[in-house]
């Protein structure tokens, strides 16, 4: 299955709870998309075939990991299959809109990630990226200190 060929981040305006997917995304999803709440606070959209690959793998991991079991339950409980219409639109279920802090008829950002896409409320995405930058700077600083300690040893 090909990777998404749409622009990595595209801003769209919802029509009620309907989202027009970027053209490259439409080709990957076909006529159905699997929609789920993602732990980071966005809506995750995948082709059903990818969802069918991910879920059994996560289920298998859940047999040995409490965290994987919780993730499996969370993702599978929030998963919904939605049709992609002839114009490349999906209806985002209310549960998922609420989870991601998305309001009907407002702007969202669609972020392409390989064979998946994330749908974000723009301010929430900005906050998420700011936090990620801080964590990366902290990690970079920590790794630098470790390298200095190795040089001194």
Question: Is residue 117 predicted with pLDDT exceeding 60?
Answer: yes
pTM of the model: 0.79
Question: Is residue 3 predicted with pLDDT exceeding 60?
Answer: no
Per-residue buried b or exposed e for 76-104, using 16+ beta carbons within 10 Å of the residue's own CB: eebbeebebeeeebbbbbeebbebbebee
pLDDT in tens, 50-107: 888 887 787 787 778 888 888 888 888 899 999 999 999 999 999 999 999 999 999 9
Q: Which helix (H) or strand (E) holds 43?
A: strand 43-46
pLDDT band at residue 139 using 50, 70 and 90 as cut-offs? low
Q: What is the DSSP string of 65-95?
A: -HHHHHHHHHHHHH-EEEE--TTSEEEPPHH
pLDDT in tens, 17-46: 999 988 777 778 889 999 999 989 999 999
């Amino acid at each position: 299955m090909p990777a998404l060929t749409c622009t990595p981040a595209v801003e769209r305006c919802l029509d009620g709870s309907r989202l027009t997917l970027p053209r490259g995304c439409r080709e990957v999803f076909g006529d159905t998309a699997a929609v789920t709440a993602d732990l980071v606070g966005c809506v995750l959209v995948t082709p059903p075939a990818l969802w069918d690959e991910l879920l059994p793998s996560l289920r298998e991991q859940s047999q040995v990991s409490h965290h994987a079991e919780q993730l499996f339950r969370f993702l599978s409980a929030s998963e919904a299959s939605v049709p992609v219409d002839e114009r490349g639109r999906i209806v985002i279920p209310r549960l998922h809109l609420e989870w991601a802090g998305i309001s009907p008829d407002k702007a969202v950002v669609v972020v392409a990630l390989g064979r998946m896409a994330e749908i974000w409320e723009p301010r929430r995405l900005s906050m998420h990226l700011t936090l990620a930058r801080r964590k990366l700077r902290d990690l970079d600083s920590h790794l630098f200190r470790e390298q200095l300690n190795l040089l001194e040893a």
